[in-house]
Amino acid sequence: KGDGPDGDPLKCKLARLHGLWVDRDGSVFIGDSEAHRVRVVRAK
């Protein structure tokens, strides 16, 4: 887990923030261009 895809998205490290998008339900999508990932923080 740790900083990997199954880790806690609120504690993950970002290499290079490239974009941010908020869905209608409040989920936040964070683009990380250096790590080639999109992190998702789901709304509760």
Q: Which residue ranges make up each domain of the chain?
A: 1-44
For the entire predicted model, the pTM comes to 0.74
If you search the block for the tokens 């998008």, which residue do you land on?
21
Tell me: pLDDT of 28 over 90.
yes
pLDDT of residue 1: 55
pLDDT of residue 2: 60
Tell me: pLDDT of 32 over 80.
yes
Residue of 2, 14, 7 whose CA lies nearest to 38? 14
Of the listed ranges 8-12, 24-28, 33-37, the one predicted with least confidence: 8-12
Q: Which residue has the higher pLDDT, 23 or 7?
A: 23
E-assigned strand segments in 1-44:
17-22, 28-32, 37-41
